[in-house]
A = this chain, B = another copy of it.
Amino acid sequence: MDIEELLKKVKKGEMSIKEALDLLSELPFKDVGFAKIDFHRRLRRGVPEAIYSPGKTKEQIKEIVKEMVNKEKIFITKADDAIYEELKYFPNCRYYKDCKMVIIGKKEEKKGGGYILVACAGSSDLSIAEEAAVTAEELGNEVKRIYDVGVAGIHRLINYADEIRKASVVIAIAGMDGILPTIISNFTPAPIIAVPTSIGYGTGLNGVAALMAMLNSCSPGIVVVNIDNGFGAGVAAHLIMEKLREK
């Protein structure tokens, strides 16, 4: 018996209110309403459906996509050419090769409210930086990139001082010593999301050194996501932007 039927019985007097209350407390999880709530949650949270590719066959990914394709926008992260080949026949499918992301569903219009600045120190970190930037753009945010290709040091940041200062949110990406977010915090009052990358060697421990430096930054107010998690940083920045747009 579903809720509608129950209500009808109450209405008709075929079921007492006490009986109805009892029944309702018994069917917490089967309730259609629940599924709806969950559906709401996802829409409200503004977090896209993401499929993490490693460990899945391209066939499995295709099957998952099939099930979701008409209901939601889908991000397939850490994908590769073969996966794209499998999925490219879906409508509105595109492949961001630089950051190994396949996206299915319409790109959202720019919603305004300022921009997210994505900065990385070296071109080795470019793939993760693009993952963050593309994620944010696809969710309707304006993104500015400072990738500093071709320079050794951090001094080039100075040329971008204005853009850094005016950003609504900054995503700062770095491997090795993970120093970039701390340096950038000198240029801006914006919230800073730090992304450690697995670039480096030896005691870099595939990004653990950068992660630890970021978590222990002497500049308070820097927050951190998992190593190489450009997607997560993009989503976090987007959630802040959504709050700004609410105002």
Asked whether A85 is an interface residue with its Cβ less than 8 Å from the other chain, the reply is no
Neighbouring B residues of A8 by C-beta, 8 Å: 17
Mask of A34-56 contacts with B, CB within 8 angstroms, 1/0: 11111001101111011110111
Asked whether A92 is an interface residue with its Cβ less than 8 Å from the other chain, the reply is no
With A177-B213, A190-B243, A191-B236 in contact, do A223 and B220 touch (Cβ < 8 Å)?
no
Which residue of B4, B121, B188, B211 is within 8 Å of A203 (Cβ)?
A: B211
Mask of A214-231 contacts with B, CB within 8 angstroms, 1/0: 111111111111111101
- Expressed in whole angstroms, the Cα–Cα distance for A243 and B170 within the complex equals 12
- Expressed in whole angstroms, the Cα–Cα distance for A215 and B238 within the complex equals 18
- Expressed in whole angstroms, the Cα–Cα distance for A86 and B182 within the complex equals 32
Distance from A92 Cβ to chain B, minimum over Cβ atoms (Å) = 18
Neighbouring B residues of A175 by C-beta, 8 Å: 55
Asked whether A70 is an interface residue with its Cβ less than 8 Å from the other chain, the reply is no
The answer to whether A205 and B201 touch across the interface, beta carbons within 8 angstroms, is no
The answer to whether A226 and B239 touch across the interface, beta carbons within 8 angstroms, is no
Q: Name the interface residues of A179-223: CB closer than 8 Å to any CB of B.
A: 179, 182, 185-193, 196, 198-223
Which residue of B150, B206, B213 is within 8 Å of A179 (Cβ)?
A: B213
The answer to whether A55 and B243 touch across the interface, beta carbons within 8 angstroms, is no
Contact count band on A: 35 or more
Distance from A242 Cβ to chain B, minimum over Cβ atoms (Å) = 6
Closest B residue, CB atoms, query A66: B150
With A60-B126, A242-B189 in contact, do A215 and B222 touch (Cβ < 8 Å)?
no
Which residue of B47, B169, B207 is within 8 Å of A221 (Cβ)?
A: B47
Contacts from A to B (Cβ < 8 Å): 3-4, 7-8, 10-11, 13, 17, 20-21, 24-26, 28-38, 41-42, 44-47, 49-52, 54-56, 60, 63-64, 66-68, 78, 113, 121-127, 149-150, 152-155, 158-159, 161-162, 165, 168-169, 175-179, 182, 185-193, 196, 198-229, 231-233, 235-236, 238-240, 242-244, 247
Query: Can you sample 22 A-B contacts with CB below 8 Å?
Result: A7-B10, A11-B17, A21-B32, A25-B32, A25-B33, A28-B34, A28-B161, A29-B158, A35-B155, A54-B201, A78-B201, A113-B247, A152-B218, A177-B178, A177-B182, A177-B218, A179-B218, A191-B240, A192-B239, A193-B223, A240-B243, A247-B247
Nearest 4 Cβ contacts at the A-B interface: A202-B227, A25-B33, A55-B124, A29-B161
